[in-house]
Amino acid sequence: MEKLRDKDKGCPWDIKQDHNSIAHCSIEEAYELVAAITKNDQENIKEELGDVLLQVIFHSQIAKENKAFDFNDVVEVLSKKLITRHPNVFDPDFDLKISADEQSKLWDEIKEKEKKQNTNKESFESISSSLSPIQKSKEIQKEASKKNFDWNSTEDVFEKVHEELNELKSIQHKKNQAKEELGDLFFVLINLAKHLQVDPDIAIESANQKFMRRFLKLEEIAKKRNQNIENANIDDLDKLWEEVKQGEKSL
C-alpha cells in the first residue's frame, strides 16, 4: 500500500484517495462478504475477506501519512479491546464459566461502561450516519433497548407487526402516508428480527439468493417446455414457481 500511495511512482487513483473518498468501500465490501457467506462459497469468502482487509490497510496507510496512527496501532487497540471485554478468558481472577449469551451481555456491559467513562453523549449520538438504513435501525433499537424501551416479548412484537401492516393497508393509496407507514413496518420487522435473534441483513440477503435461485430454475423449466414466460399469465407462472419449490423440498 505504501508503494501504491507513493507520490512519484504509485497508482494515480490510490494516491488521490482519502478517508472520506473510500469510506463507502468498507460498507460495499462488507456486504459482498455477507453475500459470499450466504452462498457458502469458500473461495469467494476468502477473496472478500481480503477486500475487507484491504480497506483496513488503506485507511491505516492514509492515517500513517497524516501522522495519526498506523496499522500496528489498529491491531494494538483491537487486542486491548478483546482482552478488556473478555475478562472470562483473560482475567485470571474471573473463574465463572459463562454461556455465549452471557458473554454477549458482558461485552455490552463493559462497552457501556467505557462509553460512560469517555463521554456524556446523548442517546444515538454515537450512531454513524453512514450506516445502511437497516444497520442504523438495528443500532437505534439496540440503544433504546438498553434503556428498557422495548417490547417485553416476541409475541408483543408480532402484534405490533400486524398493527402496522393494517395501518399501511388502510392508507395504501395515499403515497406520503404509505411511505411513513411502510417505514414503521420495516422498523418493527427489524425489531422482530432482534427478538428472534436473526440478523435482518443476512435474512434479506438469504431471501434474495433464494428468489434468484428459484426464478432461474423457473426459467430453465419454462425453456425446456418451450414456454415464453414473458407472455405467460401469472397463474401459469405461479404453477411453475410452486413446482420449483416442491422440487427443492424433495431434495
pLDDT tens, residue by residue, 184-224? 999 999 999 999 999 998 899 889 999 999 999 999 999 99
Mean pLDDT of all residues in the chain? 92
- The domain 1-84 is placed in CATH, from the list 1.10.287.1080, 3.30.70.260, 3.40.50.20, 1.10.540.10, at 1.10.287.1080
Contact 216, 160 (CB under 8 A): no
Interatomic CA distance for residues 22 and 60, integer angstroms:
12
pLDDT (0 to 100) of residue 120: 60
Q: Which residues of 69-99 are buried (b: 16+ CB within 10 A; e: fewer)?
A: eeeeeeeeeeeeeeeebeeeeeeeeeeeeee
Q: Residue 119's pLDDT band (boundaries 50, 70, 90)?
A: low
Write out pLDDT tens, residues 142-160.
989 988 999 999 999 999 9
Specify the range with the lowest mean pLDDT, choosing from 68-77, 113-122, 192-201, 240-249.
113-122
Gap between the Cα atoms of 149 and 156, Å rounded? 13
